[in-house]
């Protein structure tokens, strides 16, 4: 182990270690993003399908998953900034697929939720307002929240009129 120059860069002859001037700023965010992407991709691939191993991994082994995530975060300290910049460009284009998939997933969630509650309402014909009232209340709350969010965005971020 030796210190190189006046920059305070600590290095083992073959293994560079990050300092604030090489790993800070936006590259710090890239390192966290890279580690989380690797972590969730690994978990996704390991839990594909309906296997007993996948179910146990999905619901348990929290210590192992936490250690894996911390190890990935630590390992990113040894990834060069140039590699992270390249990964950022890949993520920029990969996010387009996510932006198209996310609304489809939300629409599917809303449809399945509505279908389950309407079916539950049909199962109990004597209780005329329980599930129907809950469905209307949740719908009104979501519409109201959406309208308030749009109004807040207009108020906070719209430029002056005229």
Residues contacting residue 8 through CB under 8 Å, at least 6 positions apart: 19
Q: Locate tokens 């005229």: which residue?
A: 162
The secondary structure of residue 14, as a DSSP letter, is T
The percentage of the chain sitting over the pLDDT mark of 90, rounded to a whole number, equals 33
pLDDT at 144 over 80: yes
Residues 30 and 87: beta-carbon distance below 8 Å: yes
Pairing of strands 9-12, 15-16: antiparallel
Over residues 42-77, the pLDDT tens digits come to 998 988 888 888 888 888 889 999 999 999 998 888
Residues 16 and 3: beta-carbon distance below 8 Å: no
pTM above 0.75, yes or no: no
Return the pLDDT at 162.
Answer: 61
Over residues 153-162, the pLDDT tens digits come to 998 898 776 6
Q: In the chain, where are the structural domains located? A: 1-79, 103-162
Q: Locate tokens 């929240």: which residue?
A: 145
Residues 31 and 84: beta-carbon distance below 8 Å: yes
**What gap in Å lies between CA 146 and CA 5, rounded to an integer?**
56
pLDDT at 13 over 70: no
Per-residue pLDDT band at 129 (split at 50, 70, 90): low
Our CA angle for 99, 48, 117, nearest 5°, is 65
Per-residue pLDDT band at 134 (split at 50, 70, 90): confident
């Amino acid at each position: 182990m030796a210190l190189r120059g006046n920059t305070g860069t600590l290095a083992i002859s073959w293994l560079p270690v990050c300092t604030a001037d090489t790993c800070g700023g936006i590259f710090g965010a890239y390192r966290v993003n890279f580690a989380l992407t690797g972590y969730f991709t690994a978990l996704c691939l390991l839990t594909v399908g309906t296997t007993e191993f996948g179910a146990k991994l999905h619901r348990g082994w929290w210590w192992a998953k936490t250690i894996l995530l911390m190890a990935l975060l630590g390992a990113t300290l040894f990834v060069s900034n140039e590699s992270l910049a390249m990964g950022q460009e890949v993520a920029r284009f990969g996010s387009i697929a996510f932006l198209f998939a996310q609304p489809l997933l939300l629409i599917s969630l809303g449809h399945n939720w509505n279908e389950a509650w309407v079916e539950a309402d049909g199962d109990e014909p004597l209780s005329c307002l329980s599930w129907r009232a809950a469905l209307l209340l949740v719908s009104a709350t979501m519409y109201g929240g959406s309208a308030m969010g749009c109004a807040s965005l207009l108020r906070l971020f719209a430029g002056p009129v005229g």
